[in-house]
Structure 1
Amino acid sequence: MSAAALVIVLGSAVLHAGWNALVAGARDTHATAAVAMLTGVAVFAVPAALTWRLEAEAWPYIAASAGLELAYFALLASTYSRADYSFAYPVARGAAPVLVLLVSVVALGADVSALAIAGILAVTGGVLLVRGVGTEAVDATSLLFALGVGACIAGYTLVDDHGVEHAAPIPYFVVVLLAAAIPYAAVVGPARLRGAVDRRSLPAGGAMAAAYILVLAALERAPAAPVAALRETSVLLAGAGGGRRRLAGSLLVALGIAAVVLG
């Protein structure tokens, strides 16, 4: 991987962790997430128009992905309203690639390497460290919500892998995000949306868009596997604010994700 690709991927990781931190710290996480989604659509509107390509075959994947994205943002905001960012982010990000691998093995008969198995064990151990034990443990509902976020990530990852075969990436992403944002914003309501238009939601939406663009730029310069693995350094940024135990757990999660992706 070139130095330029490395810098781009790490920049994407910082932005991804950053927009999650902004949503997590908001008073109304659902309204902030909804405004961020709409902002992301607005930022992407012109690039999407300039690169527009959506074949008819893409629409079933768009519908499925939009449903998963809607569930993802709703669960993410719910998790951040209950639990600390340094817990929720590493658990959700760590669960996703493990679930993708397990689905690929069960449904598609994919082989599992020793490195991938080691990665699964590392992610599991890291999640346990991040959650804590005894009186320090995060409640079971927050853990289930975070794992649900990971399941949604795994779901739309598998769907989008096929969907983008029939569309240009940016228009595909914009339509999916818009289709998820509209019902989410409708449920949140105009009053809460207006109250959430602030220094958290707008930068979060911009960072969400920029992180995606940087990933696309990195994929033009380097293979997908190392890009995906390095992108998960964002987990370390989240864990750094939760003390030594959560930082150690986040490091295990990040290493485990890299092993799963590269394995």
Structure 2
Amino acid sequence: MSLFILSAVLGAAFLHALWNGLVRGGASRVHVMMVLSAVQGGIGLVLGFFSPFPGAEVWPWLAASALVHTAYKTFLTFAYEHGDLSRVYPLARGTAPLIVLVVGAAFGTDHLAVSEALGIAVLGAGIFLLATGVFTSGESVRLLPYAMGAALATASYTLIDGQGARIGGNAAAYVAWMFAADGVLFALVMSVLRGRGAWPARAGVWGAGSVAAVASYASYAIVVWAMTEAPIALVAAIRETSIVFGVVIGWLVFRERMTWVKGASALMIAAGVAITRL
């Protein structure tokens, strides 16, 4: 992986933590996520019309991705209704690189060097350590099934989108049409689950959701492009450094308690990224 791609993926990691912080900080997580999804869909639709139309071989991947992204947003929204950013975020993101590594190795979609595999393992261990607070600090265990659902969805769409973008040959067009479809699906799902209460009315929610949407779209577009240029599992692992940014945002913005476990975990995550560069 080149230094340019590494820098781009790290920037995407920060943007990912930023939009999660905006969702977590909203008075209604559902409302912010609804705006985020709608704005993402609008951006995708506009950009899609200025991009090559995907071929028939790409649409099954786009459909599967839209479904999984909708599941991810649903699980993540409900998880943030029960837990802090510095707990939900690591747990939701943390297991995904390991799942991607195992599945990718099993199906032979990517070849990883020993140092890259070791770096992913260290990175995953740091993420799991960071998430242990959910069991020891008295936080609601109701966040666990939602966070784990988000983690499984993350691993799934990482594998789907990495292959789908490669087959399509145009990462920008792929991301645009995927988010357009996801925006419609997520609105339908949340309308069924929450009814009219899922739709926001306050102007402030639209502002926060729109900023979150731009950050989310840019973050994922960078990642999907990177997955067409570098091993999928490696890109997915480095992207998880967003957890370091998430912990800092939780600490400084939301005044969440910083512990030695969080500090040690952040160092392990940084070490994991360094090892992948050996």
| 1:126–1:251 CA contact under 8 A, matched in 2 | no
Residues 60 and 14 of structure 1: CA distance in aligned 2, closer, same or farther (over 3 Å): same
| 1:131–1:137 CA contact under 8 A, matched in 2 | no
Of stretches 5-14 and 33-42 in structure 1, the one that deviates more from structure 2 is 5-14
Structure-2 separation of matches of 1:218 and 1:112: 16
Residues 126 and 14 of structure 1: CA distance in aligned 2, closer, same or farther (over 3 Å): closer
The answer to whether residue 119 in structure 2 is matched with residue 103 in structure 1 is no
Structure-2 separation of matches of 1:80 and 1:95: 17
Please tell me the residue identity of whatever aligns with 1:123. G
Of stretches 30-39 and 165-174 in structure 1, the one that deviates more from structure 2 is 165-174
Structure-1 separation of matches of 2:273 and 2:140: 24
| 1:127–1:250 CA contact under 8 A, matched in 2 | no
Structure-1 separation of matches of 2:176 and 2:167: 14
Equivalent runs, 1:236-251 vs 2, <5 Å: 236-240=244-248, 241=251, 242=256, 243-244=258-259, 245-251=261-267
Please tell me the residue identity of whatever aligns with 1:128. L
Equivalent runs, 1:120-199 vs 2, <5 Å: 120=121, 122-132=123-133, 135-136=136-137, 138-167=139-168, 168-186=170-188, 187-188=190-191, 189-190=195-196, 192-195=198-201, 197-199=205-207
Q: What's the counterpart of residue 268 of structure 2?
A: 252
Q: What's the counterpart of residue 53 of structure 1?
A: 53
Residues 43 and 251 of structure 1: CA distance in aligned 2, closer, same or farther (over 3 Å): farther
Q: Choose which of 205, 209, 213 in structure 1 pairs with 2:213.
A: 205
Q: Deviations over 1:104-163 (max 9, x none)?
A: 234449777654256335523541343227641544442332222121111111112221
| 1:126–1:248 CA contact under 8 A, matched in 2 | no
Q: State the secondary structure of the residue aligned to 1:194.
A: coil
Q: Which has the higher helix share?
A: 1
Q: Deviations over 1:63-104 (max 9, x none)?
A: 211111111000110111111111111222221110011122
Structure-2 separation of matches of 1:230 and 1:250: 13
Q: Which runs of no fewer than 5 residues in structure 2 stay unpaired? A: none
Q: State the secondary structure of the residue aligned to 1:175.
A: helix
Structure-2 separation of matches of 1:247 and 1:26: 26
Of stretches 180-189 and 22-31 in structure 1, the one that deviates more from structure 2 is 180-189
Residues 228 and 119 of structure 1: CA distance in aligned 2, closer, same or farther (over 3 Å): closer
Of stretches 180-189 and 150-159 in structure 1, the one that deviates more from structure 2 is 180-189
Residues 180 and 219 of structure 1: CA distance in aligned 2, closer, same or farther (over 3 Å): closer
Please tell me the residue identity of whatever aligns with 1:208. S
The total of aligned residue pairs comes to 261
- How far off is 1:21 after superposition? 0.5
Structure-1 separation of matches of 2:224 and 2:79: 28
Q: What's the counterpart of residue 74 of structure 1?
A: 74
| 1:123–1:257 CA contact under 8 A, matched in 2 | no
Q: Which runs of no fewer than 5 residues in structure 1 stay unpaired? A: none
TM-score (norm 1): 0.81
Residues 8 and 158 of structure 1: CA distance in aligned 2, closer, same or farther (over 3 Å): closer
Residues 254 and 63 of structure 1: CA distance in aligned 2, closer, same or farther (over 3 Å): farther
TM-score (norm 2): 0.78
- How far off is 1:14 after superposition? 2.0
% identical aligned pairs: 31
Of stretches 157-166 and 49-58 in structure 1, the one that deviates more from structure 2 is 157-166
Structure-2 separation of matches of 1:125 and 1:227: 17
